[in-house]
Chain A
Amino acid sequence: MSDFTEKLLLPEIPNLHNIDVYEQNSGYQALRKVLEMTPDAVIDVVKKSNLKGRGGACFPTGLKWSFMPKQSSKPKYLCANGDEGEPGTFKDRQIFEFNPHLFIEGSLISAYAMGVQVIYVYIRGEYVKWINLLQKAIDDAYAKKYIGKKILGTNFSTEMYIFPGAGAYICGEESSLMNSIEGDRGYPRVKPPFPAQNGLWGCPTTINNIETLSNVPLIINRGAEWYSKIGEPKHPGTLLFGISGHVNKPGVYELPTGTLLTDIIYKYAGGVRDNKKIKAVIPGGSSTKWIRGEEIDGVRMDSEALKAYDTSIGTGGIIVMDDDTDVLKVLARLIHFYHHESCGQCTPCREGCGWMEKIIKRFIAGEGKLEDIDLLLNVANNIEGNTVCALGDAAAWPVQSVIKKFREEFEKRVRKIPIEKKYVPPPHLIVEKV
């Protein structure tokens, strides 16, 4: 289905952010349709569409919704995650700016399906412009009775509030996001209990990405079967690919899943600046494992295909580096980021990220030792899987992949020891993972 060229989330309709224009283009029809269905039937449609979460984990959305208790004495909540803190990611702001009502409609449908009383839209605090744009859209939707008490004359009522973050990458993690809304430091929570049982203020809560929710009205309007056939069947739909770095035309391109990485880089993003070769590509935001430039031919951008390259689709934020890039400097910057953003709760992440940064900087300064490569790998492997949330893994994966794919870059920077004298690591440092 690579011939699918329709833009579903960001169609080229002028002034679509305006509620009247949105309505003229079948806006809020899906909500009207849903209000005549049972909540379970709505969840079934989303399950059948095979929609997967767009925040990075690719969890099936319909299944996630079905975890919410049908009957609950406590209120139920939906958090729409627009924290968008993953370096290389800048897609949700396009929805806020160009098609906010699609997102609002999707959130309302989701709220109806799960019996949610309040929707919190968590948006990174720096996005002042986009917070204001979305607030305007929400106000307009309130005025037309799409949000609030007795929506469109039915018994369904839900409120929608924007919660601006305050500069913490970790708050994009769902349990940190809830702690942040509760007014606390953004510390991730231990799971279980999962949010569907014990979320905001101990009540059933679901957290979905902005882009995920924006797909829902399309599925309702045009059917689960139609949707499930777009792009890669196991990961259907279009994705908002954000491409940045050394390309001629960086930006967000909406394309079906399964699109060739080379097509995104050369056909849409105009190729690499100054026609240079590609040294490395980060396929889905800073947390995903790197791909070497020589490997990119034939790589398809979907959750399934990227598994074969030992990486993942993440948020679809592609970062391209040309062959003049100092990959160690980029890696050092990335690990500095994770060190800075580690919430400090778990020792492996809090301490390990700092150690990794120091070791990488040793190589950059030409002070690294050959055994430091394995030491670095050892630290990364001991962070991975040993922390409450995935930030630790997200810091370990780039390090592991750069050592695996660009080991020579470290070896080149080793001081004094000649490279031909091959270093054999002691047995306790031999790790088979990478």
Chain B
Amino acid sequence: MLTQENLKKIEALKIQFPDTKSLTIPALHIAQSQYGWISEETMKEAAHVLNVPESHVIGVATFYTMFNKKPVGKYHIQVCTNVSCQLLGAEKISEYICKKLNIKVGETTADKIFTISEVECLGSCGTAPMMQVNNDYHENLTTEKIDKLLQELK
């Protein structure tokens, strides 16, 4: 169940739009911040809260890649592999992290601490290669930086 606080957050956004359907994406963001991912249960819950059809919320949640359709670890590592990062070794960055965590792209570590994904351009091309961990950007990556970060996060 969404917390009272999160329900209030959704309610507070209603003033911004003439139609509650517009709250679909904001509500899913809020739900994901609570649950870490968007399950089918969550989609149904959001539909109920917004009073829109479940099929609508499912359609939206599955369209947008930021909504995790399966559980992720405590830290979701998203490595940009688009062109500017690719040119500066994004593939190696991704391989390095996978090797270090002993998982493949798209997988979560057994202790549920880390998930690694490869993603499209995150708008950080001037500081490539880069990755996003939860809400934070980590730029100009080197293996030393990754070692240090993963150590800190553990």
Instruction: Report which A residues bind B (CB closer than 8 A).
Output: 75, 84-90, 93, 118, 124-129, 159, 161, 163-169, 180-186, 201, 242-246, 250-252, 282, 286, 317, 319, 321, 325, 329-330, 333-334, 337, 340-341, 343
Contact = CB atoms under 8 A, between A and B. Distances in A.
A168 B28 CA distance: 15
12 contacts: A87-B82, A87-B121, A90-B124, A90-B125, A129-B136, A159-B16, A164-B26, A165-B25, A184-B24, A184-B59, A242-B126, A333-B81
Contact of A319 (B16, B60, B125, B127): B125
A166 B18 contact: no
B65 A168 contact: yes
A340 B63 CA distance: 11
Contacts of B1: none
B11 to A, nearest CB: 15
Contacts of A165: 25, 64, 66
B65 A183 contact: no
A162 to B, nearest CB: 9
Given A166-B66, A184-B60, A286-B121, 19 more contacts: A84-B123, A86-B121, A87-B83, A93-B123, A126-B132, A128-B135, A163-B26, A164-B25, A181-B17, A182-B19, A183-B21, A244-B128, A245-B87, A246-B88, A250-B84, A286-B82, A319-B84, A329-B86, A333-B81
A193 to B, nearest CB: 19
Interface of B: 16-19, 21-26, 28-29, 52, 56, 59-60, 63-67, 81-84, 86-88, 119-128, 132, 135-137
A282 B65 CA distance: 26
Nearest to B137: A129
A10 to B, nearest CB: 13
B66 A319 contact: no
A86 B126 CA distance: 13
Given A87-B82, A319-B84, A167 B65 contact: yes
A243 B87 CA distance: 13
Nearest to A317: B125
B123 A250 contact: no
B29 A164 contact: yes
A319 B26 CA distance: 33
A243 B24 CA distance: 36
A173 B78 CA distance: 24
Nearest to B86: A333
